[in-house]
Structure 1
């Protein structure tokens, strides 16, 4: 009997060790995929901002405050009705396309969809290089990275159940979207300041919440051994953290960014 108990304890310990090792590999994939997505977004935003501007007045469609000019491409992206499509297309994809992609596509297809989404976000974010100094963008990115790392680490290690916080935070995101759309027409600096402050807090909370959720989902499904599901879940988790990071960065840029 004692030998049986020892064998059972040993087997349980081996399973636990295997899950722990698998969880570390899973989280590494989540953060790695997210990092590649952020790199794609940054490069796309920088490249598109460069392609959309010119220093030659003869090719100018509009002049910018920093002394450069928008060329024809820049005018189409930033000053025509196309800008609304560029602004809201990524949101529409998340709301209506991502779930279908997760259900129907392979893990490779989901990853490709994430990278295409990251490129589209780069297009919609490229205007920050026309408004803010490169130094303040880099500074804000560093501050965001430090804050994100601390929040994600807390979400991973805390014993507190954060699931109850998730519903409240998602409602906060919906409220932020509505407020942002309203402020597009009102153009209120005070309202934008309030939106930015609340946005930082909401996405800071979501960073911790999503990290814990990714960890919990892996532990709950690891025993099933469905590698395809786990691969897709890692990409889905990377998307959640990517969106949290990106939104924290944008809202912090409202406070820390120095305009050209």
Structure 2
């Protein structure tokens, strides 16, 4: 009997160690995919802004500030009906990704995520026309520090924060609706309120999504479905990527110095 208990305890311990090691590898993959996505977004935003902005009056199509001009490409991208396509394309892609994730391979999902990251970079490239480069970098670093702390807390806390999910998702939907309405209203007060609430919502989502990624892996690790785990890591990376990008954009409204 003692030998049976010893063997059983050893098997349980070995399984726990395997799950812990697998979880660490899974989280490393999630953060790695997210980091690559962030790099793609930054590169796309920087490249597009270089094509859209110029300091040379002879190459300018419109002036946007002292010694700052839009090129013909920039005028088309930011001041024509194309701007609506650029603005809403990432949102459409997110919904499309959620609808097709079960029908595509892990490799296809990863390619889609990287394509989405590039589209997001194009969509937010306008910040280089509005804010100083120093304030963009400063806000990015502040966001990175806040994100790291929130994600670490979500991973390590013993508190169950799964109940936050419904409330936070409702908040995101409200933010999207309010932001679309304010595009037409142009109210500075509503814009400020949206930014403040947005920072709080995506701070909460950072912790919630991190814990959810961890718990989802633990719940499914025993099945050993490599394809599912690959897709789960990509979906987790997408969720954390969106938390970071949105928190950065909302913080930029407070901390960014305008050109």
Task: Give TM class, smaller chain.
Answer: over 0.9
Question: What's the CA shift string for 1:92-137, capped at 9, x where partnerless?
Answer: 1112x11233111111110000000000000001000111011000
Unaligned ranges ≥5, structure 1: none
Q: Equivalent residue for 1:246?
A: 245
Q: Equivalent residue for 1:257?
A: 256
- Using the size of structure 2 for normalisation, the TM-score is 0.98
Q: Equivalent residue for 1:12?
A: 12
Q: Equivalent residue for 1:105?
A: 104
- SS of alignment partner, residue 114 of structure 2: helix
Q: Equivalent residue for 1:212?
A: 211
Most deviating of 66-75 and 5-14: 66-75
- SS of alignment partner, residue 69 of structure 1: strand
- SS of alignment partner, residue 80 of structure 2: coil
Q: Distance in 2 between matches of 1:176 and 1:99?
A: 20
1:145 Cα deviation after fit: 0.4
1:160 Cα deviation after fit: 1.0
Q: Equivalent residue for 2:42?
A: 42
Question: What's the CA shift string for 1:139-191, capped at 9, x where partnerless?
Answer: 00000000000000010011111111110000000000111011111111111
Q: Distance in 2 between matches of 1:81 and 1:158?
A: 47
- SS of alignment partner, residue 258 of structure 2: coil
Q: Equivalent residue for 2:139?
A: 140
Q: Distance in 2 between matches of 1:246 and 1:57?
A: 33
Q: Distance in 2 between matches of 1:162 and 1:73?
A: 46
Q: Distance in 1 between matches of 2:251 and 2:170?
A: 21
Superposition map of 1:80-229 within 5 A: 80-95=80-95, 97-229=96-228
- Using the size of structure 1 for normalisation, the TM-score is 0.98
1:30 Cα deviation after fit: 0.2
- SS of alignment partner, residue 145 of structure 1: helix
**Runs of 4+ off more than 6 Å:** none
1:66 Cα deviation after fit: 4.1
1:68 Cα deviation after fit: 2.0
Q: Distance in 2 between matches of 1:77 and 1:50?
A: 13
1:54 Cα deviation after fit: 2.3
- SS of alignment partner, residue 105 of structure 1: coil
1:69 Cα deviation after fit: 1.4
Q: Equivalent residue for 1:68?
A: 68
Q: Distance in 2 between matches of 1:178 and 1:192?
A: 12
Q: Distance in 2 between matches of 1:196 and 1:100?
A: 28
RMSD of the TM alignment (CA)? 0.8
Q: Distance in 1 between matches of 2:54 and 2:192?
A: 32
Question: What's the CA shift string for 1:237-258, capped at 9, x where partnerless?
Answer: 0000000000000000000000
Unaligned ranges ≥5, structure 2: none
